[in-house]
């Protein structure tokens, strides 16, 4: 079973987390692959993980004038991840999006972002410092996330200065921090996708016995395994 990561050294926290959950999986880094190589990987993969990282170019959500307030833009990565989201939707490949990944799927569906939370939204909840911070989230009881953890409230880690502003079409917000920023989304069930979830926190940097780390990761990999079985059996 191959899990395709949007950008990873394959020796980082994302890779270590996935291998702890399933030591038998194969991981592949999509970043800087040729179109031909990437298309082959998409055809072979059983799951897609959008990893965290650089800010998304604000021109992609109509805020070109805000580029100077963003950090480490990477247009190549933006294009790559938009392609991966499209492939996930078209081929129904299970997809998990983390931090930047959550923001990218929101952009894909024509949502917008808060460019800088402390300046543009407020400081009631600390979402980033020099190291991970922790804060409460509340989860919708009718969401997939609730099914994985069976609780409405958790403390999660946090390391982001941007967040969802207006929610993208076809996405449903399913978790919020205490200052009412969106912390997780899922796809509208009418689109009939096996697994399509974005979280703003970093499950790969949490203990795997935390439901919002291990349980989410195992659910993602379980759906990837089911997808692989369908690939093999036609």
156-171 mean pLDDT:
97
What pLDDT is stored for residue 149 in this prediction? 85
Contacts of 180 (CB under 8 A, 6+ apart): none
**Which residues does 150 contact at the CB level (< 8 Å), separation at least 6?**
211
Give the residue-averaged pLDDT of 67-88.
96
The answer to whether residue 105 scores a pLDDT higher than 90 is yes
Report pTM. Answer: 0.97
Q: d(Cα 215, Cα 55) in Å, to the nearest integer?
A: 27
Mean pLDDT of the chain: 96
The domain in which residue 221 lies consists of 2-233
Structural domains of the chain, count: 1
Amino acid 227: pLDDT? 96
Least confident of 24-33, 40-49, 224-233: 224-233
In the predicted model, what is the mean pLDDT of residues 115-132? Answer: 94
- CATH number of 101's domain: 3.40.50.880
Confidence grade of residue 213 (pLDDT, cut at 50, 70, 90) = very high
Model confidence pLDDT, tens digit, residues 129-155: 988 999 999 999 999 999 988 889 999
Does pLDDT of 234 surpass 80?
A: no
Between CA 205 and CA 212 the distance in angstroms is 11
Measuring CA to CA, how many Å separate 136 from each of 113, 149, 219?
Answer: 21, 15, 22
Predicted confidence (pLDDT) at residue 170 exceeds the cutoff of 80: yes
Average pLDDT of the segment spanning 85-114: 98
The candidate with the shortest Cα–Cα distance to 177, out of 190, 193, 164, is: 164
Distances (CA, A) of 140 to 44, 145, 173, 182: 34, 8, 8, 11
User: Across the strands, what pairs with 5?
Assistant: 29, 49
Quote the pLDDT of residue 154: 96
Residue 31 has pLDDT above 90, yes or no: yes
Q: Let me know: does 61 contact 111? Beta carbons within 8 Å.
A: yes
Of the listed ranges 92-101, 173-182, 223-232, the least confidently predicted one is 223-232
pLDDT in tens, 33-77: 999 999 999 999 999 999 999 999 999 999 999 999 999 999 999
DSSP E strand boundaries for 109-223: 113-114, 133-139, 153-158, 163-164, 171-177, 182-187, 196-199
């Amino acid at each position: 079973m191959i899990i395709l990561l949007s950008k990873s050294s394959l020796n980082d926290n994302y890779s270590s987390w996935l291998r702890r959950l399933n030591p038998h999986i194969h991981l592949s880094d999509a970043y800087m692959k040729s179109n031909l190589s990437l298309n082959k990987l998409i055809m072979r993969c059983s799951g897609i993980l959008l990893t965290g990282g650089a800010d998304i170019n604000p021109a992609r959500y109509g805020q070109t004038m805000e580029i100077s307030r963003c950090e480490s833009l990477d247009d190549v990565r933006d294009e790559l991840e938009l392609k991966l989201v499209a492939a996930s939707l078209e081929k129904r490949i299970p997809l998990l999006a983390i931090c930047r990944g959550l923001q990218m799927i929101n952009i894909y569906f024509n949502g917008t972002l808060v460019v800088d939370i402390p300046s543009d939204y407020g400081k009631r909840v600390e979402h980033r410092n020099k190291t991970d911070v922790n804060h409460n989230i509340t989860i919708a009881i009718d969401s997939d996330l609730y099914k994985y953890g069976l609780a409405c409230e958790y403390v999660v880690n946090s390391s982001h200065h941007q967040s969802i502003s207006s929610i993208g079409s076809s996405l449903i917000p399913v978790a919020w921090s205490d200052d009412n920023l969106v912390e997780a989304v899922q796809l509208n069930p009418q689109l009939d996708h096996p697994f399509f979830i974005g979280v703003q926190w970093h499950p790969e940097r949490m203990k795997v016995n935390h439901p919002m780390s291990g349980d989410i990761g195992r659910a993602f990999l379980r759906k990837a395994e089911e997808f692989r079985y369908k690939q093999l059996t036609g």
